Amino acid sequence: MKKTAIGLIALLSLLPLAVSAQVTSGDLPDDTVWYVHADLGAMRSGEAGGSVYAWFEDEVAEDIREDVGIDISAEIDSVTAFADGNKGTIVIVEGPLTKDTQDKLLALAAAQGPVDPREHDGKTFYFFGDEDDIDDNGDQPLEDFEGAVFVSFAVPGKALLTGTEEQMRGLLDKGGEVAGTGSHGGALLVLSATKALVQAGMQPEGMLDSDDAGGNDWESNIVRNTKEAALLLADESGRLAVEAQLVSHDPKMAEALGGIVNGLIALQAFNSELGPDIQSLIRNTKIEVLENVLSISTVIDPDLLVSILDN
């Protein structure tokens, strides 16, 4: 079950987001520490996303089809995952999700250990794992699914996966909808666009291990000084628009990082070992620093992105 869940969101980690709507800051609880949202349906049908989805089909979906007999392309339209650092991870998979696929997933899980069917207000969900392995800390992506996970197909068109029983009961009460804040106060930064394909974000402070938090290396210093970061991949007139924002605690850190990125771009823009497409991409990358916010944006030919992923 964990392997399948990881496979469903593998695209999000390999690329540098419900089908009917993208994620906004008001959709997430105030204490969200990370989130990802992938609109696979939009990728399949979009002009720019089609090439990227073809790569996903070859590299991820085909393996899952061969391993477990589940056709992601036919049965899954979107994947949304996020974590409340105090309560754990929630993954919502939307799509047709046939009864045959549901049975296969339950059989796969049953082959790994006991399955405990449970019920809440007339709706069935399942617990896989050991009660002693329930981890209510979801700061690391899917880490709390290592030893235990709660799963339900009780809401039509959705598969719900949670790290705790409390989360599952809450989702079932609301028909699989996330109880967001409904406001921007305290919510994690979310970048959005008309044709968003992938959205992701995190609050690094909530994801630092104790060892990392006490480290003195350059990378840890950047993480310690980063309040939040967000990524967006969108379809823009047949090309892929990529935008990233980093919000720093200290404006000087944002300015320093902007200078470093600008310097790297300047060093590589005329590198004769790079192809003309890569050189053009580098030169067209825009860096902007406004107080404590560093913004990086560019537009990529989807075929070029696929080529980079393949290499």
Write out pLDDT tens, residues 68-115: 888 888 888 988 888 876 778 889 999 998 999 888 888 887 776 778
| Angle subtended at Cα 300 by Cα 299 and Cα 305, rounded to the nearest 5 degrees | 150
Q: Band the pLDDT of 6: cuts 50, 70, 90.
A: very low
For residue 219 the two structure tokens come to 């990378």
Contact 112, 120 (CB under 8 A): no
CA distance 282 to 125: 49
Question: Which pLDDT value is given to residue 135?
Answer: 63
The backbone region for 3, taken as left when phi is positive above 0, alpha when psi lies in -120 to 50, beta otherwise, is alpha
Is the CA virtual torsion 127, 130, 133, 134 positive or negative?
positive
Q: Which of 155, 163, 88, 158 is nearest to 124 (CA)?
A: 155
Amino acid at 201: G
Of 131 and 237, more confident: 237
pTM: 0.81
Choice among 144-153, 265-274, 294-303 with the minimum mean pLDDT = 265-274
Q: What phi and psi values does residue 162 have, to the nearest 5 degrees?
A: -135, 160
Sign of the dihedral through C-alpha 183, 188, 191, 194: negative
Q: Which contacts of 282-289 are long-range, i.e. CB under 8 A and separated by 24 or more positions?
A: 287/258, 287/261, 287/262, 288/258, 289/254, 289/255, 289/258
> Which residues are CB-contacts of 258 (< 8 A; sequence separation ≥ 6)?
287, 288, 289, 294
Mean of all residue pLDDT scores within the chain: 79
